[in-house]
Structure 1
């Protein structure tokens, strides 16, 4: 298996997900702008997303995938199938209990995450939270499926699945929002219904994918089946690894909760500005970070289980070089080309020029830390593969404290941009500590040639950034909104020209891109 080809496949499918996600955000921005109701939807949507990151893509995946890959590498497929059945059974019962408690406790959850909402917005957020809460159940089971399929090197379905959520919300925005208004309901409730439908669709498509490789879990739906699954040694191992991982992911989500509360205190629309900026930042983090994490985690876990230290270090080195090659130019673009991108993507309908300026400033804050945000996706799996969850947790707690201290400095000065800047700087510190930890353990030994590689990428990125800065100043991107087609064409030409310049300079400097075509 060619790792670059696998990562590229995931990146392409993730790009489709991010594009549809961007269209989703554009529709929300055009229909509802940045208001207390959009803030209410963002708060309500973040509650199941927060739990999804805690129990699905976060702590559960971090604990489950290394145990799954290690079991398959050392004990074979039969033992692995037993592990899958037991973990799926325990997970299903836990999710049923979580969803029931979450629906009943929606008012408390909204207060915790959105205390700054006005009374009208808080009421809407509670209703939407209850409608969307079963989404966490669907997505946790989707995360189980993704871990299995990635371990079997079946990357397509997990990477393509998120598109279904975006398409569902887009369809709801077009079809349900106008009808709800006619029926006397709040139109924004249509988005919540779209989220729930999208979660169900994502779960349904996992079934044939798992069946094709013969690992569709056999669920224990009785109490006896639950007790048998609970007694499985692999479940205990996953849970023992999940506890510190849960703390680590919980720290990240606590930071998100605090930042949301601070954004709501900044003023109406601030939480939405931060969300729209986050969507732009997620393009490079998802296209590269998610792809590398999905490909590297099972590979690193298998190498660690077999005691292949050289291969383990080489995998990390390959991932970090790709991070520098593809993330540094993206970070430069977020810093110098933020306003043109935000203008083209969001400036229409209820999304006004002031919203463009505020969102652009937040995008620039994220740009400062983009390298760290993506590098964590490579470095953290290096610890998870060793089944060391505690080191990333200790780092995350320290970074949380530092981030909030930076908020005290930057938010009064920069507003919502200060929040994004604190997150970005915190990510750089986090990545630096993780890298230092892996090197001190001797797990990662940089391959020769890093200095020359870094200089080539840096110079090419600076030249590309100079072109983008000139283009950003040359055109009035907000005023160009009078001609949507012309503005979109100018954006496409600017980004294409920037990419061509960047890679042309790299090739002219002697960099051979073929070196990244690594095989597993």
Structure 2
């Protein structure tokens, strides 16, 4: 063990769980990129693409807000407590009653959403009101995509149960079904429809059904397949409800900020919504594969440590999570910023996407990339509150960050258009992460372990080496616009492989042993 690495103590099971989630998520994200390449090739940044992205973002936003945001952060700590202190029968009773109550609420929201699709479309994309056809198309697509909220939220509920019992692979691989469904629908259904973009909306609906059905057999295998029952008087259900209401603004603040970007982008020139979508998708790749992977496994672990009053291990787990995401977030930020234009051109410019679309998407990608470390830190730091069933503190911080984002949106949208919206999101993410980190320290919950100075020096040296490689090995912009897909893809794979190799090789030469750091007890 090297000096500076000794203090990072994580059991191998936590690392293995993160690795499993990361690997499964990587498969999903790669297929997600393939999905977006297909969409860009067929629909580009057209009015139809803008309409679909809004129609898909509305239920997707609510899913992240309710299911993966507020619900998961409230449900998993309570479930972990029941698992630690009560019998399996009591846990089964909790799961059944939570499933029934959540399902009924989601069903009511879904029916209201479908009935009020025209109102929702106007609220979330008011700028479309200047184009009657575009707004009407958005409403039509939203009526098909909105039921996805019910289906995917129940899928997230099932995934939370599986995660709490250490079954991380199944929930992590489930999103693959969405990507496959959208790819198949775009290729095989679009040509047979009066409005080709509607094929994507049908793909979303089909995927929701498939994802929910996929997880049910695994719940049965662990004996926790719910028999849904409405019981709002159950102690666990009531506690989850109390925790869930304020949590709506907690960990999901970044999603609210992204949605505000879409609302304001609807007032900008046609294509702005799509430019933000394509750039956000690339930022989501490292965030989803690594940030969310660590966050997924750290919440049940922190909840168990809090339930057993293991305060020292609680702090060490948080410190492990922070360092782990920084190892990936910092080089990813550097690479996405430098390679923004080449990445957009290589991945998405194969059909309807123009050179101008590539340029505009790359600019917002650079702005989003600057916030990537902070987005990832939020995913790790927020569970430090939720695992202790402290919802109010991150809610207050989230509201501050959201208001700041709104102010910065208004300040930056006029001079920078859609790029200003992306920059405001990154700045508010930095504010959110900073306040979370400071508050955890102030509460005495998180104490930095030894070796942070040496840790940062090693990362800085490796980042300098990576930066030099990117500077020397990246062709000029003209190449990325004129070369064929094979040439661009080959160069990009070569740069990515060399970048990963030199970054970790430099860390190794400076005495940084990644395996020992991650596996140390």
Aligned partners of 2:126 and 2:267 also within 8 Å: no
Q: 1 CA distance for matches of 2:451 and 2:240?
A: 38
Q: 1:500 to 1:249 in 2, by over 3 A?
A: closer
Aligned twin of 2:187: 174
Answering whether residue 105 of structure 2 is matched by residue 77 of structure 1, we say no
Aligned twin of 2:359: 357
Q: 1 CA distance for matches of 2:20 and 2:385?
A: 25
Q: 2 CA distance for matches of 1:409 and 1:469?
A: 33
Q: Of 206, 214, 223, which residue of structure 2 is paired with 1:197?
A: 206
Q: 1:510 to 1:519 in 2, by over 3 A?
A: closer
Q: 1:466 to 1:76 in 2, by over 3 A?
A: farther
Q: 2 CA distance for matches of 1:480 and 1:68?
A: 55
Which one has more relative contact order, counting CA pairs under 8 Å at least 6 apart?
2
Answering whether residue 58 of structure 2 is matched by residue 47 of structure 1, we say yes
Unaligned 5+ runs, structure 2: 1-11
Aligned twin of 2:114: 103
Aligned twin of 1:427: 429
Answering whether residue 309 of structure 2 is matched by residue 296 of structure 1, we say no
Q: 1 CA distance for matches of 2:323 and 2:30?
A: 26
Answering whether residue 163 of structure 2 is matched by residue 154 of structure 1, we say no
Q: Of 108, 116, 134, which residue of structure 2 is paired with 1:121?
A: 134
Q: CA deviation at 1:253?
A: 4.6
Aligned twin of 1:494: 495
Aligned partners of 1:284 and 1:327 also within 8 Å: yes
Answering whether residue 6 of structure 2 is matched by residue 5 of structure 1, we say no
Q: 1:338 to 1:387 in 2, by over 3 A?
A: same
Aligned twin of 2:31: 20
Q: 2 CA distance for matches of 1:418 and 1:473?
A: 27
Q: 2 CA distance for matches of 1:64 and 1:142?
A: 14
Deviations 1:25-81 (A, max 9, x none): 111111111121111101110111121112211111111011111111122423211
TM superposition score normalised by structure 1:
0.95
Q: CA deviation at 1:175?
A: 0.6
Answering whether residue 165 of structure 2 is matched by residue 165 of structure 1, we say no
Unaligned 5+ runs, structure 1: 221-225
Q: 2 CA distance for matches of 1:514 and 1:239?
A: 41
Q: 2 CA distance for matches of 1:120 and 1:90?
A: 39
Aligned partners of 1:273 and 1:355 also within 8 Å: yes
Q: 2 CA distance for matches of 1:422 and 1:296?
A: 28
Q: CA deviation at 1:88?
A: 0.5
Q: 2 CA distance for matches of 1:148 and 1:519?
A: 28
Q: CA deviation at 1:473?
A: 4.7
| SS of structure 2 residue aligned to 1:446 | coil
Aligned partners of 1:3 and 1:518 also within 8 Å: no
Number of equivalences: 508
Deviations 1:196-246 (A, max 9, x none): 0001100001111111111111123xxxxx2xx222110000000001102
Q: 1:475 to 1:201 in 2, by over 3 A?
A: same
Q: 1 CA distance for matches of 2:17 and 2:479?
A: 37
Q: CA deviation at 1:416?
A: 1.4
Aligned twin of 2:396: 394
Q: 2 CA distance for matches of 1:78 and 1:161?
A: 27
Q: How do residues 281-320 of structure 1 correspond to structure 2 at under 5 angstroms? A: 281-320=283-322
Worse-matched range after superposition: 187-196 or 93-102: 93-102
Answering whether residue 93 of structure 2 is matched by residue 92 of structure 1, we say no
Q: 2 CA distance for matches of 1:7 and 1:131?
A: 34
Aligned twin of 1:134: 147
Q: 2 CA distance for matches of 1:519 and 1:377?
A: 23
Q: 1 CA distance for matches of 2:253 and 2:449?
A: 33
Q: 2 CA distance for matches of 1:76 and 1:445?
A: 34
Q: CA deviation at 1:390?
A: 0.9
Q: Give me the CA root mean square deviation.
A: 1.5
Q: 1:292 to 1:422 in 2, by over 3 A?
A: same
TM superposition score normalised by structure 2:
0.95
Q: 2 CA distance for matches of 1:258 and 1:322?
A: 30
Aligned partners of 1:2 and 1:519 also within 8 Å: no
Q: 2 CA distance for matches of 1:178 and 1:85?
A: 43
Q: CA deviation at 1:337?
A: 1.3
Q: 1:325 to 1:254 in 2, by over 3 A?
A: closer
Deviations 1:57-109 (A, max 9, x none): 11111110111111111224232111111100111111221111111010000
Aligned twin of 2:5: none
